[in-house]
């Protein structure tokens, strides 16, 4: 179960003077769902693009099942890594079925000549492709809409279709870039089930997401990327308990910082209000009193960031 599917070694990506990703080591094992989180601008999508060959990493290598991947997107897909995009990038003016059929491109061989001559091999391959595509559409529940144009699907279904299209290339690893962005809680739940179902098909999944509840429900392992560097990696509990993660999302309190003190004050006030404590909120004037309150309320803060991100997502 623990054979590595994807191994990124020392991946660094620089754009001129800006280092977007700094020597990240990263592994995804087979049958695993791994989450990649980090504040906005942390380099998650850049790292994704390095993995899928859209960017050529300045340093480091990415290997899939032990073989180093060439930095060409179509070769990466051929090797067995499929992805979705943060902003939906369906083929808007193709039908739902055609979109999935395009995903089958690497798994079929028919070239121009066989298309022109239409031999029995061509027909058979087309029929098989269509059967596979319909299977996937049934899997995600869009079989009835096969002849609709992708652009006319509602948002949530477009997201699903993008996943189906990625699955059509029969990947060993699926990379999902913010699959629940802009979804309501019900759709997010459905996506969660879908990702589990994909995992059950034996496909490893790597997810970027801002929705913390989604990530921590879903993932066996979570890595946190902050300013291009991998900060922590581990199970949800480990990551949630890590102070640096909280600091990365909320900013780091340091001694004598009035901002931090104020924030702590507000938090403390909220905590007490929530607990319906009879004690009145005492002004926390030193950082020492703020610190323990902070670490005690870690889960709370994480949850509050999650609430933040969901509202943000819905506003998008």
Partner 1 sequence: MTDTTTNAPAAAEHGPVPLPPSVARLLVAVGAVGTIASAFLSWTWTSDFPGDLTVYGYPAGLQILALVGGVLTLLFGLTLWDVKWLRWLNPANSTSPVLLTALSAFAVCWFTGIAITVDLGGLVNLDPGAFVAMAASALPVVGALALPHPAPGTGIRGYLAKPQLPAPGKASPLTERIVITVGVALALVTFTYGIGIDNDASETFIGYLLLLVFAAWGLMHTGLVDRFATTAAHHKGFASALAFAAAVIFPFTQSDDHNANVGVNILIFATVALGLNIVVGLTGLLDLGYVAFLGVGAYAAALVSGSEYSRFSGVHFPFWAAALTGMAASLVFGVLIGAPTLRLRGDYLAIVTLGFGEIFRITVNNLDGTSGPNITRGPNGITQIPDLNIFGFNLGESHNILGFSLGRFANYLFLMLIVTAIVVLVFTRAADSRIGRSWIAIREDETAATAMGINGFRVKLIAFALGASLAGLAGSVMAHVNYSVNPQPYQFAGAAPPNSAFLLAAVVLGGMGTVSGPLLGASVLYLVPEKLQFLQNYELFAFGVALIVLMRFRPEGIIANRRRQLEFHETGQLDVPTQTTLSDDPAVTKAGA
Chain positions contacting partner 1, by CB under 8 A? 52, 54, 72-74, 77-78, 82-83, 85, 89-95, 98, 101-106, 108, 110-112, 114-116, 118, 122, 125-126, 129, 134, 143-149, 151-152, 165-166, 169
Tokens of 196: 């589990």
Q: What is the CA radius of gyration of the chain?
A: 23
- Report, in Å, the least distance between residue 116 CB and partner 1: 5
d(CA 165, CA 160): 9
- Report, in Å, the least distance between residue 291 CB and partner 1: 46
Numbers of helices and strands, H then E, in the chain: 13, 10
Which of residues 143 and 287 has its CB atom nearest to partner 1 in the complex?
143
Which of residues 83 and 213 has its CB atom nearest to partner 1 in the complex?
83
- Report, in Å, the least distance between residue 271 CB and partner 1: 45
Which of residues 138 and 255 has its CB atom nearest to partner 1 in the complex?
138
Q: What are the DSSP calls for 80-120, one per residue? A: TEEE--SS----TTSBHHHHHHHHGGGG----HHHHHH--H
- Report, in Å, the least distance between residue 214 CB and partner 1: 23
If one counts every other C-beta atom within 10 angstroms of the C-beta of residue 218, the result is: 24
Which of residues 97 and 284 has its CB atom nearest to partner 1 in the complex?
97
Q: What are the DSSP calls for 241-269, one per residue? A: H-HHHHHHHH----TT-HHHHHHHHHHHH
- Report, in Å, the least distance between residue 69 CB and partner 1: 13
- Report, in Å, the least distance between residue 83 CB and partner 1: 6
Which of residues 23 and 65 has its CB atom nearest to partner 1 in the complex?
65
221-226 and 33-37: which strand pairing? parallel
Which of residues 203 and 231 has its CB atom nearest to partner 1 in the complex?
203
Contact status, residue 290 vs residue 260, Cβ threshold 8 Å: yes
């Amino acid at each position: 179960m623990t054979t590595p599917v994807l191994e990124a070694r020392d991946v660094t990506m620089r754009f001129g003077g800006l280092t977007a990703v700094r020597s990240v080591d990263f592994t995804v094992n087979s049958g695993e769902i791994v989450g990649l989180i980090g504040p906005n601008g942390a380099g998650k999508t850049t790292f994704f693009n390095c993995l899928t060959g859209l960017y050529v990493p300045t340093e480091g290598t990415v290997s899939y099942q032990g073989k180093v991947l060439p930095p060409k997107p179509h070769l990466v897909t051929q090797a067995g890594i499929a992805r979705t995009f943060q902003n939906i990038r369906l083929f808007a003016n193709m039908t739902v079925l055609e979109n999935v059929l395009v995903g089958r491109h690497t798994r079929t061989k028919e070239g121009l000549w066989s298309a022109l001559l239409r031999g029995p091999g061509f027909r058979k391959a087309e029929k098989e492709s269509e059967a596979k595509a319909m299977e996937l559409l049934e899997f995600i529940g869009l079989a009835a809409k096969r002849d609709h144009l992708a652009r006319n699907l509602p948002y949530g279904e477009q997201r699903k279709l993008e996943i189906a299209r990625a699955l059509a290339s029969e990947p060993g690893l699926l990379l999902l870039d913010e699959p629940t962005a802009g979804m309501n809680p019900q759709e997010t739940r459905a996506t969660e089930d879908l990702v589990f179902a994909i995992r059950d098909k034996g496909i490893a999944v790597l997810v970027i997401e801002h929705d913390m509840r989604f990530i921590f429900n879903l993932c066996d392992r979570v890595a946190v990327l902050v300013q291009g560097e991998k900060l922590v990696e581990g199970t949800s509990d480990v990551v949630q308990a890590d102070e640096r993660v909280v600091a990365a999302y909320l900013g780091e309190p340091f001694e004598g910082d009035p901002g931090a003190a104020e924030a702590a004050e507000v938090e403390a006030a909220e905590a007490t209000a929530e607990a319906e404590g009879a004690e009145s909120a005492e002004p926390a004037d030193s950082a020492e009193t703020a610190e323990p309150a902070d670490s005690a309320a870690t889960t709370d803060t994480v949850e509050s960031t999650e609430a933040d991100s969901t509202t943000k997502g819905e506003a998008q």
